[in-house]
């Protein structure tokens, strides 16, 4: 990582006059192993005549002050709590009593906790069941909307509405549609003499319902992003392809998909991060479970996602140290999956 800051000042060193920094550096003009593209990208940004770092801060202080509220709020309400959970993960704490340092004990508990692993499995299954159809449908919808000539604004608004609808309202609505005994879908099934499906109590259908909910909510949002990407593709390319005799399928796979790859990468990463954090969906769908066993993720705990399990441990059981350990272990898992996704989509880019 240290390569880019070195490459930056090194390139501008002679012209900028701030020759204190590069002096200590052994070989200023070598990109020091960093990826060539990266170095090139840095250079133009810092190439303008600019004063040294200390003067820069003092000169632009009103601007820094102007953007400071965000950073202050961020550090108080986001950064500090995040760091604090690291500390908490090594404590045993009930929320108001004394904290006890317990070392890695919470993580050892986590390793042996079958419910934690069940929740991780649930989360991954729900994520796959929702993300794959969601991104596929979004792409199809985006291509369809992109080719429409009339009502385009209407389609765009229609696509965007689900993502700004209250998640709780959607979850209650889905709960009513998929209800075992009195749901809309089972009523339809019965009316055509097909036996009803116990959507809300079967291990797999519970996950399907949650995944369907997430797909319904976020397909339109991703479609809008794809649509923006599609409109950035120059029409000459399509014309050229058509001149060469390519059909719509060939155009889609040889032009649209490759040029959309950065956008696809973005949506994959974002849906991975958000899809793995499903919490409200199972919480509302199976939240009616009275006081005896709240937030347990429904029958057979089939809808228990990791974040719901974390919430249950921290806020129902007041085991804040264990809760912190759960979220940190899960953070590492999300990071791993995002990296894997990144590599997968990136590698394909190099091949053609």
Query: Which of the stretches 40-48, 153-161, 291-299, 330-338 binds other proteins when contact is defined by CB under 8 A?
Result: 291-299
d(CA 71, CA 101): 31
- Shortest Å distance, C-beta 130 to other proteins: 20
Considering only residues 2-61, where is the footprint of other proteins by CB under 8 A?
none
Joined together, the tokens standing for residue 276 give: 């793995």
The contact pattern for other proteins, residues 74-93, with x = CB under 8 A and - = no contact, is ------------------x-
CB of 72 to other proteins, least distance (A): 10
> Which member of 115, 124, 265, 270 binds other proteins (CB under 8 A)?
115
Question: Which listed range, 17-25, 38-46, 175-183, 225-233, lies at the site for other proteins (CB under 8 A)?
Answer: 175-183
Q: Is 67 in the site for other proteins (CB under 8 A)?
A: no
> How far is residue 25's CA from residue 277's CA, in Å, rounded to a whole number?
44
Q: Which stretch binds other proteins (CB under 8 A): 10-18, 20-28, 160-168, 285-293?
A: 285-293
Residue 46's nearest CA partner among 1, 10, 2 is 10
292 near other proteins, judged by CB under 8 A: yes
For tokens 């979004």, what's the residue? Answer: 138
Note whether 257 and 235 are within 8 A (CB). no
Q: Which stretch binds other proteins (CB under 8 A): 135-143, 189-197, 252-260, 286-294?
A: 286-294
User: Which letter, b or e, does each residue of 162-187 get, where b requires 16 or more Cβ atoms within 10 Å of its Cβ?
Assistant: bbeeebeebbeebbebbbeeebeebe
Structure tokens at 346: 């990136």
Q: In sequence order, which residues have a C-beta less than 8 Å from that of residue 42 and are 6 or more positions away?
A: 4, 7, 8, 11
Position among 1, 44, 54, 112 found at the interface with other proteins (CB under 8 A) = 112
Segment lying near other proteins (by CB under 8 A), choices 104-112, 127-135, 157-165, 344-352: 104-112
Tell me how many residues contact other proteins (CB under 8 A).
Answer: 49
What does the alpha-carbon distance between residue 333 and residue 337 come to, in Å, rounded to a whole number? 6
Residue 296 near other proteins by CB under 8 A: yes
341 exposed, middle or buried (CB, 10 Å; 0-12, 13-18, 19+)? middle
**Residue 299 is a binding residue for other proteins (CB under 8 A):** yes
The tokens for 286 are 């199976």
Find tokens 């696509």 and name the residue: 159
The nearest distance, CB 288 to other proteins, in angstroms, is: 5
| Distance separating alpha carbons of residues 90 and 332, to the nearest angstrom | 16
Length of the chain (residues): 352
Query: In this structure, which long-range contacts are made by residues 76-81, counting pairs with CB atoms below 8 Å and at least 24 apart in sequence?
Result: none
CB of 193 to other proteins, least distance (A): 18
Phi, psi for residue 199 in degrees, rounded to 5: -50, -45
Does residue 180 belong to the site contacting other proteins (CB under 8 A)? Answer: yes
Give the whole-angstrom CA distance, residue 350 versus residue 311.
42
Does 62 contact other proteins by CB under 8 A? yes
Give the shortest CB-43-to-other proteins separation in angstroms: 25
Encoded one letter per residue, x for contact with other proteins by CB under 8 A and - for no contact, window 314-333 reads -xxxxx--x-----------
Stretch of 215-223, 231-239, 253-261, 281-289 contacting other proteins, by CB under 8 A: 281-289
Kindly list the distances between the CA atom of residue 78 and the CA atoms of 73, 84, 114, in Å, as whole numbers in the listed order.
8, 10, 30
Contact mark string toward other proteins, 194..233, x via CB under 8 A:
----x-xxxx------------------------------
Q: Which is nearer to other proteins, 114 or 247 (CB)?
A: 114
For binding to other proteins (CB under 8 A), which residues are involved?
Answer: 62-63, 65-66, 69, 92, 94-97, 106, 109, 112-115, 172, 175-176, 179-183, 198, 200-203, 285-286, 288-289, 291-293, 296, 298-302, 312, 315-319, 322
């Amino acid at each position: 990582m240290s390569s880019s800051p070195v490459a930056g000042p090194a390139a501008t060193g002679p012209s900028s006059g701030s020759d204190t920094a590069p002096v200590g550096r052994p070989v200023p003009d070598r990109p020091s192993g960093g990826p060539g593209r990266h170095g090139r990208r840095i250079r133009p940004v810092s190439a303008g005549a600019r004063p040294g770092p200390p003067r820069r801060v003092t000169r632009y202080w009103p601007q820094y002050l102007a953007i400071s509220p965000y950073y202050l709020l961020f550090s108080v309400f986001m950064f500090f709590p995040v760091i604090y959970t690291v500390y908490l993960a090594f404590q045993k704490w009930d929320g108001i009593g004394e904290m006890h340092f317990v070392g890695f004990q919470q993580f050892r508990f986590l390793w042996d906790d079958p419910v934690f692993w069940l929740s991780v499995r649930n989360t991954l299954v729900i994520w796959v069941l929702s993300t794959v159809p969601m991104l596929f449908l979004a792409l199809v919808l985006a291509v369809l909307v992109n080719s429409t000539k009339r009502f385009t604004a209407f389609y765009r608004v229609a696509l965007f509405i689900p993502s700004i609808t209250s998640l709780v309202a959607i979850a209650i609505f889905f709960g009513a549609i998929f209800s075992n005994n009195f749901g809309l879908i089972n009523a339809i099934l019965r009316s055509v003499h097909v036996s009803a499906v116990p959507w809300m109590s079967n291990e797999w259908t519970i996950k399907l319902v949650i995944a369907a909910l997430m797909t319904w909510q976020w397909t339109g949002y991703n479609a809008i992003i794809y649509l923006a990407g599609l409109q950035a593709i120059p029409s000459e390319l399509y014309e050229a392809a058509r001149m060469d005799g390519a059909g719509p399928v060939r155009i889609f796979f040889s032009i649209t998909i490759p040029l959309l790859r950065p956008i696809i990468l973005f949506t994959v990463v974002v849906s991975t991060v958000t899809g793995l954090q499903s919490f409200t969906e199972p919480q509302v769908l199976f939240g009616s479970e009275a006081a005896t066993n709240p937030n347990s993720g429904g029958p057979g705990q089939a809808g228990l996602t990791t974040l719901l399990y974390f919430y249950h441990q921290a806020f129902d059981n007041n085991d804040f140290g264990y809760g912190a350990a759960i979220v940190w272990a899960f953070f590492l898992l999300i990071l791993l999956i995002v990296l894997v996704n990144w590599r997968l989509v990136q590698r394909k880019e190099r091949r053609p």
